[in-house]
C-alpha cells in the first residue's frame, strides 16, 4: 500500500517536475536582446529570445528592504512568436519588435498585469512571404514617429498617431543592425551588415552621407568581417563598432579620430557624460575616455552582452542605474558605474 501511494504521488508530481525542468532549461539557454525603461523610471522591461517580456520593479529591487523576490519579474507575458529584438518607450506606451511586426502595449495596463496588446503593425514588405526580423526601433519625438529597421535592408517610418507607414529609406545592401538619432537635426544614422554607416536627412527622406568603416585601414579587421553592430551619436560625433574596431568619428569630415584598443566585437555603445560605454563579446562593460584610454572594465554576470540601458528619467532619481543584459537570463544592475550591485533574473 505504501509503494502504491508513493507511485501515485510520483505520477501526480511528474507534470510539475517536467515543467520545472523545462523552465530551468529555458533559463539556461535564454538570451535577453532588449530593454526599455518605463516613462516613470521605476520599471524596466526586458525582452528575450522566447518572445517573452518581463517587467522588473527597479524601485523595489533598489529598496533597502529588497528581498530576492524583489529581483524577479513582477509580471512576464508572451509578446511575440519569435525573439523580442528591440523595445522603446514613449510617455505612455511600450513598443516591442519581433519578426516582421511591431506591437504597442499600454504601460498603465502592463503595471496592472493586464498585458493585452493595444495594436500591432507590419511594415509594407516587398512580398507577403517576407517576414524579416526588426532589429532596431528609434523614436523621433519632433515628428512623433517611430523608425524600424532590420532584415529587409530598409528604414521604415511609422506615424505614431495614425499608425500609418509614411516612407521607406533604401540604400543598405544587407540587413540593418542599429539606429541612432542626431537630436539637433532631423537626421538618423543606420549601421548594418554591409559595413556602412549611412546618414539620412528626414526632411528630404534621402541618404546624405555614407561611411564605409571597413575600408579605413585603421578600423578594418577583415577576420571579424565588415558588419556594423552598434553605433551612437552626439552632435557632430559618432562612435561605431562590430567587425571593424570600435571607433570615434567626426561626422562632418568623415574622419576616424580615435580607435579604441579592444579586440572583441562590440554589440552596444552609448555616450555618457564624458565617457563612452561599450559592451559585446565578453562579460564586461567597458568605460572609455574619448582619447581612447580604457578607464575601467566592469564585469557582469553574462558571458556576452547585447544591450545597455541608462535610466536617466528625472521623475525617479533614486532609480538612476545602468542595466546590462545578454547571453543569460539575468539583467545586471549597476548603481555605481564602477561595480555590479546585483542581478535581476527571469
pLDDT digits (tens, 9 = 90+) for 271-300: 999 999 999 999 999 999 999 999 999 999
Structure confidence by residue, pLDDT tens digits, 99-136: 999 999 999 999 998 889 999 999 998 777 779 999 99
DSSP label at 336? Answer: B
- In this structure, the dihedral spanned by the alpha carbons of residues 242, 48, 101 and 199, taken in order and rounded to 10 degrees, is -20
User: Can you count the helices (H) and strands (E) in the chain?
Assistant: 3, 28
Model pTM? 0.91
Nearest CA to 300 out of 317, 322, 270, 318 is that of 322
- What does the pLDDT read at residue 5? 58
d(CA 210, CA 251): 10
d(CA 46, CA 32): 7
Nearest CA to 137 out of 175, 164, 177 is that of 177
CA distances from 305 to 51, 211, 261 (A): 18, 26, 18
Q: Judge contact between 262 and 229, C-beta under 8 A.
A: no
Amino acid at each position: 500500500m505504501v509503494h502504491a501511494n508513493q507511485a501515485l504521488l510520483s505520477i501526480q508530481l511528474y507534470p510539475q517536475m517536467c515543467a520545472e525542468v523545462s523552465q530551468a532549461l529555458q533559463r539556461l539557454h535564454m538570451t535577453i536582446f532588449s530593454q526599455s525603461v518605463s516613462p516613470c523610471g521605476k520599471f524596466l522591461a526586458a525582452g528575450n529570445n522566447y518572445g517573452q517580456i518581463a517587467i522588473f520593479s527597479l524601485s523595489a529591487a533598489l529598496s533597502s528592504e529588497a528581498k530576492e523576490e524583489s529581483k524577479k519579474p513582477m509580471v512576464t507575458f508572451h509578446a511575440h512568436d519569435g525573439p523580442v529584438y528591440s523595445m522603446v518607450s514613449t510617455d505612455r506606451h511600450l513598443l516591442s519588435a519581433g519578426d516582421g511586426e511591431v506591437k504597442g502595449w499600454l504601460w498603465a495596463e502592463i503595471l496592472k498585469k493586464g498585458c493585452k496588446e493595444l495594436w500591432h503593425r507590419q511594415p509594407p514588405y516587398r512580398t507577403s512571404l517576407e517576414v524579416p526580423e526588426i532589429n532596431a526601433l528609434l523614436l523621433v519625438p519632433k515628428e512623433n514617429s517611430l523608425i524600424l529597421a532590420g532584415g529587409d535592408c530598409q528604414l521604415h517610418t511609422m506615424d505614431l498617431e495614425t499608425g500609418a507607414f509614411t516612407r521607406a529609406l533604401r540604400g543598405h545592401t544587407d540587413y540593418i543592425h542599429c539606429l541612432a538619432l542626431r537630436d539637433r537635426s532631423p537626421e538618423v544614422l543606420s549601421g548594418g551588415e554591409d559595413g556602412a554607416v549611412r546618414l539620412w536627412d528626414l526632411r528630404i527622406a534621402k541618404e546624405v552621407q555614407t561611411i564605409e568603416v571597413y575600408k579605413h585601414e585603421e578600423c578594418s579587421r577583415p577576420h571579424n568581417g565588415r558588419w556594423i553592430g552598434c553605433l551612437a551619436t552626439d552632435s557632430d560625433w559618432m562612435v561605431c563598432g562590430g567587425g571593424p574596431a570600435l571607433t570615434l568619428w567626426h561626422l562632418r569630415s568623415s574622419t576616424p579620430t580615435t580607435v579604441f584598443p579592444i579586440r572583441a566585437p562590440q554589440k552596444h555603445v552609448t555616450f555618457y557624460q564624458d565617457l563612452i560605454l561599450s559592451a559585446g563579446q565578453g562579460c564586461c562593460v567597458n568605460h572609455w575616455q574619448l582619447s581612447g584610454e580604457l578607464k575601467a572594465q566592469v564585469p557582469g554576470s553574462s558571458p556576452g552582452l547585447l544591450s545597455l540601458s541608462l535610466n536617466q528619467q528625472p521623475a525617479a532619481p533614486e532609480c538612476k542605474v545602468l542595466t546590462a543584459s545578454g547571453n543569460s537570463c539575468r539583467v545586471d544592475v549597476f548603481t555605481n558605474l564602477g561595480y555590479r550591485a546585483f542581478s535581476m533574473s527571469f
